[in-house]
Amino acid sequence: MVTLLYFARLRETFGLSSEQASLPAAVVNVRSLTEWLRQRGGAWREELAQDRPVRVAVNQDMADPDTTVRDGDEVAFFPPVTGG
Amino acid sequence: MTVRVQPEDFDLGSEILELRRGDTGIGAVASFVGLVRDLNHGATVAEMALEHYPGMTEKALAEIEEEAKQRWNIINTLVIHRVGPLKPTDQIVLVAVSSAHRGDAFAACEFIMDYLKTRAPFWKKEQTEAGAHWVDARESDETAARRWNHQPDSTGPA
């Protein structure tokens, strides 16, 4: 199981701030996790499309597509930050 | 090195007094306060809401403070960022840096602010007469943060 978190516009569009998910064996990193979520279709396919500027953090560190995702990880998806 | 993420407002004077209390080696304090403007891209902002990622936001801010400490000869740092609903003229963010000499404090304060804008997980949602919308990240903020890539000294960006 991994914990998936969604923030800001993604949280609103998905209507979801967090979920626990069992990942198939093929999901090993951020790239394959994002692809797996995209297969949910609808808003997921749209918001997580490759040309959208989605940021991903694994265990609260900024990640890139090759960052490994393991059982027990916390993975967050969010738009580019706009604080300050 | 202090980080606070809070809905409450802050008082610049008392925060700086606390930052420098009892340290006779401090010769300079530089601070920056960010405020909510009433106009963004031509639309009147009635209210905004700040969202963050509890845990990661504090960690990211602490890492930015630590990086400033590696780069400049600074004594202490304070970052306060507000979350929740805010109105025009409200204070959003405070960055304060103490050091022996002003150059380090000025540069580190600007560096922390530039990195905060592009690396700390906060998101603004504005309420305008045209409705509510999430604020888009600005390329100029990325450009400001990138200036520091090759400036590991006290002189600040060129």
Residue B71 predicted with pLDDT over 60: yes
Among B117, B118, B2, B120, which Cα is nearest to B53's? B120
- Angstrom CA distances, B6 to A59, B10, B14, B33, stand at 22, 9, 16, 15
Test mutation, B56, B110, B116, B127, chain A, max A CBs within 10 A: B56
Query: Is A78 at the interface with chain B, CB within 8 A?
Result: yes
| Complex ipTM | 0.94
**Structure letter (DSSP) for residue A60:** T
**Token output for A69:** 């995702």
The confidence score (pLDDT) of residue B121 equals: 98
Model's pTM, two decimal places?
0.92
Domains and CATH numbers, chain A: 2-78 (3.10.20.30)
Q: For chain B, say whether A60 makes contact (Cβ under 8 Å).
A: yes
Q: How far is A55 from chain B (nearest CA, A)?
A: 10
Report the range of poorest mean pLDDT among A19-33, B2-16, B51-65, B128-142: B128-142
CA distances from B122 to A4, A41, B29, B136 (A): 18, 27, 26, 12
Mean pLDDT by 10 residues, chain A (84 residues): 97 97 97 97 96 96 97 97 96
pLDDT computed for residue B157 by the predictor: 56
- What domains, with CATH codes, occur in chain B? 2-148 (3.90.1170.40)
